[in-house]
Chains A and B, each alone.
Chain A
Amino acid sequence: MKSAGAGNREEIRQYYFVIRELVGREIKRKYARSFLGILWSVLNPLMTMAVMSMIFTTIFKRSIENFPIYYLTGQIIWQFFSGATNAAMTALVDNQTLLLKVKLPKQTFVLARTYAALTNFGYVCIAYVLMLFVFRIRPSVTMLLFVVDVFFLLLFSMGIGYLLSILYVFFADVKYLYSIILTLWMYMSAIFYPYESTTELMQKVIGSNPVYAYISVARDAVLYQRWPEPVRLIQMAGWGIVSFAVGYSVFRKNENLVMQKL
């Protein structure tokens, strides 16, 4: 209950507490009926990586240096993006009773879903760091860039999440459509094949794919330990900021319309 003199600071603290509780709920919920719970977040990427790497190195031989890390870097970034946007999409509809009765900012729920994906990503990173050790990737200063990359990826995912959550209220079909788009998008992100081996046209398509920019920067930062091309850095920051700005403003504009629809 709010004390009479609740200041702005306290409001922010409370807001933070609510988001934390909601994030905790999402994560506990995700693995509510499984034995291993959160351990899945760590094991899942490891096992997919192991299986995929063995298959791909056997089929395509050594076309990519250090394929396991190459694949894992792309995979965890993609998983974060698709997980965050998918969860954010249904955030408003899933919480409609709460939305109608509680005087919380509407975006709280979208944010909570996205942060839950980020927390999950944090657990995945434990597995990732472990694998970096196993495959003898030396620590390097460029790895700091990975953090920056994830920050902008978060902004980008939030923006898309805002848009999708609004759209989903009006058109439930978006869910199915988006899953198809995601599949196509994944294959356009050069997660398990080298970007350079594609045709020129495909390189143009993949090169303008925002998710590929995040994957490419992450690979440069961690695997190749070099500065990414300036184009990718600009894409990384640009897509993040633009997506967030557009998503947020659309969300704010349609907030009330959504409440009426619900």
Chain B
Amino acid sequence: MFLINCPYCGERDQQEFKAGGEAHIERPKQPTELSDDEWAEYLFMRKNIKGVQFERWNHAHGCRKWFNMVRDTSNDEIKAIYKMGEKPPAQ
């Protein structure tokens, strides 16, 4: 449980947010040409990092907007928050 600084609403309780999993997984540009292995990679395989991870979050009980977060999953410390479409900060 922690506080999240929504880029649109400011600091709110994590309870208001919904985690959306790993960020920057690009949807395949040519889905019809994908092999089963590539589909599995896109749909199911995750880095699931212990340490600094890039994630998507949604302010579900607030502005309902999506944004990105850089968080250390070993101690839940938030390193950076940036809007969708913005370049991820260098780590």
Answer yes or no: do A and B interact.
Answer: no
| Chain B contacts to A: CB under 8 angstroms | none
| Chain A contacts to B: CB under 8 angstroms | none
